[in-house]
Structure 1
Amino acid sequence: MTEISTRHENVARDFAAVADRVTKWDAPTPVPEWTAGDIVEHLLAWFPAALESWGGPTLTDIPARGLAERWRLRTVEVQAILDDRDRAGVIIESGDFAGMRLGEAIDRLYTADIFMHTWDLARSADVEIHLSGPYATGLREGLAAMGDGLRESGHFGPAVETDSDDPIDRLMAFIGRDPQWSVSAAN
C-alpha cells in the first residue's frame, strides 16, 4: 500500500464508521442546505464523472440501497484503484489535472472531501470522531495556497473566525464551517 491508498482507506473507514451510526438521514448539517443523507449522496455523485474525466475506470452504478451500504461499496471500488499501482499511476492527460497521477488527484480532491465531510456528518449525527490533526493542517495550508479561487468555485463559504488552536477547528472554520456547530443547537 502507498501513503495515498492508506490515507484513503483510513479516511473512508472513519466516514463509514460515522455513517453506520447515523439514525436520522434528514438531520441538519453544518452545511446549511444539506441533510446528513445529502452529504453521502454528494460523495457518491460527483466522483464517478470526475474519475472518468481523469482517464480512470467507470465505477459501478450502485443500486438503491441504504446510504451506509452504498458508501461501503463505493469505498471498495476506489480502494482497489488506489491499491493497484498501475491504475493509480496513470497520468491524467487533459484538464486542470493534466500531468498529475490519478492516485494523487483522487487523494487531493476525493479523499480530502471525504475527510472534511466526515466532520460534517459526525456533527450532524452527534457522533464523536477523532480526525488527523496533521492531515487537517496540511489540507488547510494547501487550500489556503489556492487563494481567492478557492471561494470563487462556490465549494467553500467565507472563512469563519475562530480562536481555536485545534487543527480540525481551524480547517473547518477556514472552509466556512462554524467549529462550534452542533445538531442540538440547530434543531
Structure 2
Amino acid sequence: MTNQIAEQHSALAGKLAAIAANVTDWDAPTPVQEWRARDVLAHLMGWLPGMLNGAGVELPTVEVGDDVLAAWWKHTANVQNLVEDDEQVARIIDVGQGDQTLGQVLEQFYLADLFMHRWDLAKASGQDAEWEPEVAAGMVEGMAPIAEALGASGEFGTPVVLDESHTPEERLAALIGRDPNWAPIVH
C-alpha cells in the first residue's frame, strides 16, 4: 500500500507536470522577478537533492537542460521512487531543524514548495494554478504568524498578510511575496 507522502507527492507533482506540459515559452517571465518559467522547475529540481544529500539521503540531481519537461519527469520519478520506500520515509534525518523523519521534511518543505510554485508556473504561462482553496487557506493559517521570518529568510519575496476579504489564493500568493494580480506583460 502506498504511503501518504507518496500519494501526496504523486498528486502534487502530477498537477505541476500538467501545467508544465502546456508551457509554450520556457523563457517567459514569472511572478518571481529574477526567474523565467524554466527556473521554477530548475529551483525544485536543484534544492531538494542538495538538502537531502547533505543529510545522507541519496537523491540524484537532474540537470534541466533544453528539455525542461523531460528533466521534470525524471526528477519526479526519482523523488517518487524515494517516497515509495516506507523505510526511507520513516528514516530520521536532520536538515537543520532537528531530528525529523524524511517524510516530515518532505511534507514541510518540498510538498509545500510543489504546491506554491504551481502558481508561479501557471501565471508565467497564462494558466490557472487550480490551487485547492482549503489547502491554500491552511497554508496561510500556518504561515501568517511567521510572515516576518519568511521575509527575513530571503527565500520569499516581501510577505504581505491580506485579510479575510481576499481569496485563499490571493492571501497565499501575497504571503509568499507575490503580487496576487501579477500577469505577464503582453506585447
TM-score for both structures, normalised by structure 1: 0.89
Q: Partner of 1:31 in structure 2? A: 32
Q: Partner of 2:20 in structure 1? A: 19
**Residue 173 of structure 1 aligns to which amino acid in structure 2?**
A
Q: Secondary structure at the match of 1:70?
A: helix
Q: For the aligned residues, what is the CA RMSD?
A: 2.0
CA distance in 2, matches of 1:66, 1:129: 22
Residue identity (%): 37
**Residue 121 of structure 1 aligns to which amino acid in structure 2?**
L
**Residue 12 of structure 2 aligns to which amino acid in structure 1?**
V
Q: Relative CO higher for 1 or 2, CA cutoff 8 Å, sep ≥ 6? A: 1
Matches within 5 A, 1:38-187: 38-62=39-63, 64-92=65-93, 94-160=94-160, 162=162, 164-184=165-185
C-alpha displacement of 1:57: 1.4
Is the Cα–Cα contact under 8 Å of residues 91 and 98 in structure 1 kept in the other structure?
no
The C-alpha deviation readout for 1:155-187, integer Å capped at 9, x for no partner, is: 1122246565321211111111111111246x5
**Residue 154 of structure 1 aligns to which amino acid in structure 2?**
G
C-alpha displacement of 1:65: 4.9
The C-alpha deviation readout for 1:7-34, integer Å capped at 9, x for no partner, is: 1111111111111111111111100111
The C-alpha deviation readout for 1:109-140, integer Å capped at 9, x for no partner, is: 11111111110000000012312222222222
Stretch moving more, 21-30 or 136-145:
136-145
Gaps of 5+ in 1: none
Gaps of 5+ in 2: none
